[in-house]
Amino acid sequence: MKKHKKAMIALLIVALFGMILACISSHPFVSRRCEVPEEYVAEICAQSMGVYSKKVPLLPIYISIEQFSAGRAYYTVHYFPFGTLGMSYSLTDGFCQEKPLTGLQ
């Protein structure tokens, strides 16, 4: 009976962790290190939500917007369980990958 209780508690913890990850990946935390127009932030968040790809199941946890110059926002997306991706966004050109996905050795 005790084994079943421990297994059930472990299953509940794993399910809770999965639900928290799903919630965070659909609404990653955003840090702005500079002034960025709200429309840029909304587009960056919309593009960064969800799983990185079907082949590489990484979940976005944190977006750090580092710089805004000449109408382009430069930012880094931090993924769970590991990896970062450097990107930029402008209203005229859209999204551009600045640094490849790192942390996958």
Tens-place pLDDT, residues 29-60:
899 999 999 999 999 998 888 777 777 778 88
DSSP 34-84: S---HHHHHHHHHHH-S-S-SSS--EEEEEEEEEEETTEEEEEEEEESS-E
pLDDT, position 101: 86
pLDDT, position 1: 65
65 versus 50: which is more confidently predicted?
A: 65
pLDDT, position 15: 92
The mean predicted confidence, pLDDT, of the chain is 88
Tens-place pLDDT, residues 2-12:
788 888 999 99
Which long-range contacts does 84-87 make (Cβ < 8 Å, 24+ apart)?
85/52, 87/44
